[in-house]
Copies of this chain bind each other. A is one copy, B any other.
């Protein structure tokens, strides 16, 4: 089964203590799509400006991603500039230029509308609702962020009632529910609508709350993290891509989907932008899945 992703397509400038990547390919929908395409057909819905390099289009198409929902509009592509510190868990946003993304209203082509699986990337919940009204997906997962939790709470609440899963950071659980404790926080999120809560904890891995059970997965250990930008969106792409490939949301599939999310996210961290992620294939994923199995076997 195919999966549709709606979210940002960006040109990211990333500074780290060990290098700089100027106006590279980025955006939540891009990371998601490059991850999920390893598992199933992906329909990417987003918007780019006139400056969006053809080479990025060719890369995404070469990876088999359906770009018929990626509009090209007059103006510049969404640009984000960030700086990471020695501790890569800490980053500063230096600049955000919404550009064509400011007036983005997602239009889903037919194939994107008909996809059985849908991921609503981290955009304004009002736009997420617009997507829901076009889509016919049977399973919908959503990402959000502190900005929307604080500035669009009512619209977010309304969308949360209509999705099956939410994939968010531990800090966002606290912002969304007021609970510091993740067990209580996840229980509170489940009350908001989704039946599945996935909490990303960065280098500390991930928690899955579903049907009264909890699953905990550590992250794969990396000796060198070059650029964690997009790791969370990559996780979501691996998670949803695997679910769509298996065409199941039973407990075991969800747990394995978390592992696949961890696996593909580890590739993203190893190079600037999606440089390493774009080179992964089924064999590389399978090898790292086995590494993960050895990491947790007892």
Contacts and interface: CB of A to CB of B under 8 A. Distances in A.
Nearest 4 interchain pairs by C-beta: A216-B218, A255-B298, A204-B204, A183-B223
Interface of A: 86-87, 180-184, 201, 204-205, 207, 213-219, 221-225, 252, 255-256, 258-259, 294-298
A149 to B, nearest CB: 19
Given A216-B219, A217-B296, A255-B298, 13 more contacts: A87-B180, A181-B223, A181-B224, A181-B225, A205-B205, A213-B294, A214-B221, A214-B295, A215-B295, A216-B221, A217-B298, A258-B298, A296-B296
A185 to B, nearest CB: 10
Nearest to A218: B216
A216 B204 CA distance: 10
Given A201-B204, A207-B221, A296 B216 contact: yes
B252 A298 contact: yes
A219 B214 CA distance: 12
A160 B217 CA distance: 31
